[in-house]
């Protein structure tokens, strides 16, 4: 099975983006009605944040919790990513330990390199070139 990443809005077709927004609205309404929806039970998201963000961090952590999963926050001082440990190695190692990664950093090329060596989905939480999650959220 091919791993899909979400690095830019171009990673999804127009129909996929539209379907994703509609599905998000459906899930939000169901949860507000008290329905439990936990498709990520026992799944773990690693959140690598070189750039701080209250909203991005909270939105991913809350989503993982509401969907039954866990989130691990990794700040710049808590990893060796880019400081002695190559991005490629970090991507390979994390692929064996977590189910997905969201990265918020300056360098878009670093996110592309990470994704190229990852066996799990990589989500761009913000780079110097793209902010697809924000654009998607603004769309609804």
Distance of CA 58 to the CA centre of its chain: 12
Which two tokens mark 81? 């990513």
pLDDT over 70 for what percent of the chain? 96
What is the value of pTM for the model shown?
0.92
* Least confident interval from 2-6, 76-80, 98-102, 104-108: 76-80
Which two tokens mark 12? 């999804």
What burial class does residue 111 get, using C-beta atoms within 10 Å of its C-beta: 0-12 exposed, 13-18 middle, 19+ buried?
A: buried
CA gap 106, 40 in Å, rounded? 28
26-76 tens-digit pLDDT:
999 999 999 999 999 999 999 999 988 999 999 999 999 999 999 999 987
Domain architecture of the chain: domains with CATH: 50-140 (3.40.50.1370)
Measure the CA angle with vertex 132, ends 129 and 134; round to 5°: 110
> Which pLDDT value is given to residue 82?
61
DSSP collapsed to 3 states, the chain:
CCCCCECCHHHCCHHHHHHHHHHHHHHHHHHHCCCCCCCCCCCEEEEEECCCCHHHHHHHHHHHHHCCCEEEEECHHHCCECCCECHHHHHHHHHCCCCEEEEECCCHHHHHHHHHCCCCCEEEEECCCCCHHHHHHHCC
Q: Are 130 and 8 in contact (CB under 8 A)?
A: yes
């Amino acid at each position: 099975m091919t791993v899909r990443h979400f690095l830019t809005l171009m990673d999804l077709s127009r129909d996929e983006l539209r379907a994703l927004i509609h599905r998000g609205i459906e899930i939000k309404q169901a949860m507000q009605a008290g329905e439990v929806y936990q498709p990520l039970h026992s799944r773990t998201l690693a959140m690598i944040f070189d750039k701080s963000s209250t909203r991005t961090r909270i939105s991913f952590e809350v989503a993982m919790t509401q969907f039954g999963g866990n989130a691990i926050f990794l700040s710049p001082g808590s990893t060796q990513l880019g400081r002695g440990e190559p991005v490629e190695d970090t991507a390979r190692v994390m692929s064996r330990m977590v189910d997905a990664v969201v990265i918020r950093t300056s360098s878009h090329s670093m996110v592309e390199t990470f994704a190229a060596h990852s066996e799990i989905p990589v989500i761009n939480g913000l780079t110097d070139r793209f902010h697809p999650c924000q654009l998607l959220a603004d769309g609804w």
